[in-house]
């Protein structure tokens, strides 16, 4: 039995056939359509011996031996398998190997692994002697799994960052200010009840700017308040600033010594007073009746001016 490979003309399935079935009708194991088994591919003709055609030793004349009787001329039959041409041997796809290596070893190799895997499968569909489909499939599976996991983690990180991103709100109408009161848990009123909130710090003071009291530090200073929170609710810190500040007002905002935001007040809302809401991580307020809210100026910068400070329900 002499076996050879051929492709189904309907679906491209690789099929291992027997030369004895050439020209017969069979059903494709993949698409179940009737196809004709082709003849075994011929082997390329042998290359003539160099020098036989030109410039070499002239060939010797053939001497025809005398005819022998039929019985004497009978020779052993050559095995059929030996007389049949041989097909090229199968070989592995280098792209399939590269796909698996990229998916497992190369950092961030999911994209190269996917590209190499699909290219390998495409070439294997064209070349019936190219093998390594399982290796390509493994490389694709691992690469796609790593890519999905990476995108999922990145999406979770960006979503969390977006949810905790500070929100600027203009509250200039009586209706907007009344709506703020419904969420109020605690409030520091500049120049009135700061001492009730244990104000302290370094190089800070209360002053008047734009006709309203505010709290500000010198360069490199800080100040903090003790403020009430609800231990079983998510809290938001609301701070009011002037939108006309010039450069040099840059500071961190911390709750119980953990920084939750960094603020630069340079022209954030020209011509307006603006509220900025900072979401406080639930872990910083859970089970606590109060927290320390601190404003820490960057080196050579100022913290504030702060025109209002409230703890709000989310």
The whole-angstrom separation of Cα 209 and Cα 82 is 104
Question: What average pLDDT does range 252-272 have in this prediction?
Answer: 96
Summarize pLDDT for 160-172 with one digit per residue, the tens. Answer: 777 778 999 999 8
Q: Which two tokens mark 9?
A: 């003309």
pLDDT at 15 over 70: yes
Please state the pTM of the whole predicted model: 0.58
Please report which confidence band the pLDDT of residue 81 belongs to, taking 50, 70 and 90 as the band edges.
very low
Determine the pLDDT at residue 82: 44
Please report which confidence band the pLDDT of residue 35 belongs to, taking 50, 70 and 90 as the band edges.
confident
Let me know: does 228 contact 188? Beta carbons within 8 Å: no
Domain limits, the chain: 167-313
Q: Which residues contact 252 (CB under 8 A, 6 or more apart)?
A: 259, 261, 262, 263, 295, 296, 298
Lowest mean pLDDT among 27-31, 111-115, 204-208, 291-295: 27-31
Question: What average pLDDT does range 138-154 have in this prediction?
Answer: 92
Nearest to 222 by CA among 246, 191, 247, 201: 201
Please report which confidence band the pLDDT of residue 42 belongs to, taking 50, 70 and 90 as the band edges.
low
Q: Find how far residue 79's CA is from the centre of its chain.
A: 60
Summarize pLDDT for 170-183 with one digit per residue, the tens. Answer: 998 889 888 899 99
Instruction: Determine phi and psi for 135, rounding to 5 degrees.
Output: -65, -40
Length of the chain: 314
CA distances (Å), origin 296, targets 76, 139, 260, 265, 284: 103, 51, 12, 14, 18
Please report which confidence band the pLDDT of residue 206 belongs to, taking 50, 70 and 90 as the band edges.
very high
Q: Which fold has domain 167-313?
A: Jelly Rolls (2.60.120)
Buried b (16+ CB within 10 A) or exposed e, 12-24: ebbbebebeeeee
Please report which confidence band the pLDDT of residue 238 belongs to, taking 50, 70 and 90 as the band edges.
very high
The whole-angstrom separation of Cα 17 and Cα 15 is 6
Determine the pLDDT at residue 34: 87
Instruction: Determine phi and psi for 137, rounding to 5 degrees.
Output: -65, -40
pLDDT at 73 over 70: no
């Amino acid at each position: 039995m002499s076996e050879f490979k051929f492709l189904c003309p309907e679906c491209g399935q690789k099929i291992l056939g027997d030369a004895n079935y050439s020209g017969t009708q069979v059903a494709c194991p993949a698409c179940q359509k009737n196809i004709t088994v082709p003849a075994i591919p011929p082997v390329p003709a042998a290359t003539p011996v160099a020098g036989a055609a030109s410039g070499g030793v002239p060939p010797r004349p053939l001497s025809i031996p005398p005819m022998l009787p039929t019985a004497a001329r009978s020779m052993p039959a050559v095995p059929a398998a030996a007389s049949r041409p041989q097909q090229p041997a199968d070989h592995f796809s280098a792209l399939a190997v590269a796909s698996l290596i990229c998916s497992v070893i190369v950092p961030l190799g999911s994209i190269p692994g996917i590209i190499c895997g699909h290219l390998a499968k495409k070439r294997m569909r064209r070349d019936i002697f190219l093998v390594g489909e399982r290796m390509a499939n493994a490389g694709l599976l691992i690469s796609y799994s790593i890519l999905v996991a990476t995108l999922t983690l990145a999406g979770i990180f960006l979503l969390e960052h977006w949810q905790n991103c500070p929100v600027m709100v203009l509250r200039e109408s009586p209706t907007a200010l009344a709506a703020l009161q419904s969420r109020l848990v605690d409030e520091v009123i500049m120049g009135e009840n700061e001492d009730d909130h244990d104000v302290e710090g370094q190089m800070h003071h209360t002053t008047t700017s734009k006709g309203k009291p505010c709290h500000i530090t010198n360069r490199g200073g800080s100040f903090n308040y003790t403020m009430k929170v609800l231990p079983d609710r998510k809290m938001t810190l609301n701070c009011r600033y002037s939108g006309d500040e010039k450069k040099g007002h840059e500071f961190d905002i911390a709750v119980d010594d953990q920084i939750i935001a960094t603020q630069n007040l340079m022209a954030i809302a020209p011509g307006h007073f603006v509220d900025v809401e900072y979401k406080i991580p639930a872990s910083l307020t859970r089970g606590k009746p109060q927290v320390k809210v601190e404003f820490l100026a960057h080196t050579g910068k100022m913290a504030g001016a702060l025109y209002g400070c409230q703890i709000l329900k989310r």
